[in-house]
């Protein structure tokens, strides 16, 4: 077996909003876990509340980290979070830096999402449209929970309003005041590589110009959804992945912020049907090699 991805500490993958481990046979991190394990890495994909605040999700993650450390005998973990999972990982690292070697944000909402801001304005919680959206999210979550064959733990709490507030620009700004580790000091800049013994990294993608991404696989349905969502962006119009802005995703060492990948393709959620030249699995393998070289 290759040892190219054999990091010193286990890799813990943290999903975003409405996250899961495996819907029947379809994993959240499609092809990624297997590739990392073939490279010799110890990898654990975890589940936290699909719809809740980043702080509540972070406390759940801390409990899972302690279980993983007991099971593996490791002293720390490397956290890799997608979307809201990046905030969840940041919270855990800020609260228990002694348990975390690194935090990696993949298309993370580190400065909020303009899509969440749009929904906050046009679908307020006390309106008919807001109640309808909440009901739809509850239904989706219930169905996904029934289908999540990879999760066998207790029923996780749901708070749709807390989840939504945690993703708005204002909500993340409050979060960042409490947990600023790894954040850039200037808009669009890089953050510190290491804070309190924890290394910070990030990467993200952007939708490419034109009606379709150049070389995009025609069976990639997520791209159409992301292009629709991208219409809600103002500050980072034309510079987003459909759900998170390019510069809003920055944290720590920015590996790259314009991969030709939408918000779902960046974790290979289109069954690998991504655009020509886009290789999300390779990004994770290369990052495991990067972490290994850094001694974590």
Catalytically active residues are: 83, 241, 263
Q: What are the beta bridge partners of residue 79?
A: 12, 103
- The owner of tokens 């034309």 is 238
**Under 8 Å CB-to-CB from 247, ≥6 apart: which residues?**
111, 187, 188, 236, 239, 257
Rg (CA), the chain: 18
CA distances from 59 to 56, 81, 90 (A): 5, 15, 11
Distance CA 14, CA 80 (A): 6
CA distances from 231 to 224, 235, 237, 239, 243 (A): 12, 11, 8, 11, 10
Q: Which of 197, 162, 152, 210 is nearest to 51 (CA)?
A: 162
């Amino acid at each position: 077996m290759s040892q190219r991805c054999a990091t010193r500490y286990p890799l813990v993958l943290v999903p975003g909003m409405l996250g899961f481990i495996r819907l029947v046979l379809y994993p959240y991190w499609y092809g990624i876990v297997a590739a990392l394990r073939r490279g010799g890495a110890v990898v654990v994909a975890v589940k936290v509340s699909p719809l809740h605040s980043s702080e509540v999700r972070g406390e759940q993650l801390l409990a899972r980290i302690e279980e993983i450390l007991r099971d593996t005998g490791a002293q720390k973990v490397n956290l890799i979070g997608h979307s809201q999972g990046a905030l969840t990982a940041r919270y855990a690292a800020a609260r228990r830096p002694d348990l975390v070697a690194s935090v990696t944000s993949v298309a993370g909402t580190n400065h909020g999402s303009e899509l969440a801001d749009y929904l906050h304005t046009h679908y307020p919680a006390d309106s008919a449209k807001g109640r309808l959206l909440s009901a739809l999210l509850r239904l989706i979550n219930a169905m996904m929970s029934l289908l999540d064959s990879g999760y066998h733990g207790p029923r996780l709490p749901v708070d749709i309003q807390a989840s939504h507030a945690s993703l708005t620009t204002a909500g993340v700004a409050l979060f960042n005041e409490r947990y600023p580790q790894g954040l850039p000091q200037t808009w669009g800049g890089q953050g510190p590589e290491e804070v309190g013994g924890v290394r910070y990294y990030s990467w993200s993608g952007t939708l490419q110009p034109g009606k379709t991404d150049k070389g995009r696989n025609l069976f990639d349905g997520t791209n159409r959804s992301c292009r629709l969502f991208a219409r809600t962006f103002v500050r980072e119009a034309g510079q987003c992945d459909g759900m998170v802005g390019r510069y809003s995703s920055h944290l720590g060492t920015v590996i790259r912020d314009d991969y030709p990948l939408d918000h779902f393709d960046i974790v290979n959620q289109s069954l690998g049907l991504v655009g020509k030249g886009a290789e999300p699995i390779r990004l994770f393998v290369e990052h495991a090699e990067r972490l290994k070289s850094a001694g974590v």
